[in-house]
Amino acid sequence: MGNGHDYRIPEPTVAVQPCPLCAKDKWHALTSLANLRNDGRSANQFSNRHPGYTGSLWIMLARDYLRRIWEGKEDASELAARILCGEFARSESSTSVEKGIMAGIEKPGASLPLPISIDWSHQEFVYRWQFGVQRDLYQLLLVSKRARKCERANCPTPFFVAKKLPRRYCGKACADEAVAETKEAYEASGNRPPRREKKNRKGRKGQRP
């Protein structure tokens, strides 16, 4: 990447239907996919709200891959590369090319387009995403440390992108619930929750906290 530039993302190569919620939160579609419930109705609703978002990749499979990437599993980098490099779409294109060669339409040795090209005049690589999930996952890759999972065990939407770090919970509601649950657990066991020690500021007058 010339002069330290990141991959540049050009205009989309396919039409994307606008989503009102995505206009307010650029991570809405990606987090909605990661938090998708395990039922067909949820998948259909997501497909209607975000048509073509996962391309040729089955929505529920894309969700499972995204969760492993989000949690930083051992195959996270491999799965991210498969989505970003369009391996699934390239597999279908490869079949079409092979059929074209057999039919005499394509010449032997015909290659498939890569999602990354070079812009020599701007001294940078250009990432040419085809589907919304590729665009958003690439953007998340650039700030991957902000991809968090809510620490509250029963959180219905645990996958989120933190605005600031550190961040343990997806929002105030889960943070408050976690505190209440911890308090109830201590009371049930007959113990008191540990008190936070107050910082000793004696002798630090005139210093900024």
Question: What is the tens place of the pLDDT at every residue in 117-147?
Answer: 788 898 888 888 889 999 999 999 999 999 9
Alpha carbons 21 and 24: distance in angstroms, whole number? 5
- At residue 183, the pLDDT reads 78
pLDDT bin (cut points 50, 70, 90) of residue 105 is very low
Alpha carbons 35 and 114: distance in angstroms, whole number? 30
- At residue 78, the pLDDT reads 92
- At residue 145, the pLDDT reads 94
Q: Which residue has the higher pLDDT, 129 or 98?
A: 129
pLDDT bin (cut points 50, 70, 90) of residue 193 is low
The two three-digit tokens of residue 110, written as one number: 């015909």
- At residue 94, the pLDDT reads 40
In the beta sheet, which residues pair with residue 126? 8, 117
- At residue 95, the pLDDT reads 45
- At residue 7, the pLDDT reads 44
- At residue 67, the pLDDT reads 97
Element (H, E) at 149: strand 147-149
Task: Render pLDDT for 62-78 as a digit per residue (tens, 0 to 9).
Answer: 999 999 999 999 999 99
Q: Per-residue pLDDT averaged across 18-38, rounded?
A: 87
Cα atoms in the 13 Å half-sphere on the side-chain side of 84? 19
Percent of the chain with pLDDT over 70: 68
CB of 130 closer than 8 Å to CB of 89: yes
- At residue 167, the pLDDT reads 93
Residue 97 neighbours by CB under 8 Å, 6+ apart: 106, 110, 112
Task: Render pLDDT for 40-56 as a digit per residue (tens, 0 to 9).
Answer: 899 999 999 999 999 98
- At residue 86, the pLDDT reads 79
Alpha carbons 199 and 100: distance in angstroms, whole number? 73
Would you state the torsion angle of the CA atoms of residues 148, 150, 153, 155, taken in this order, to the nearest 10 degrees?
A: -120
- At residue 162, the pLDDT reads 95
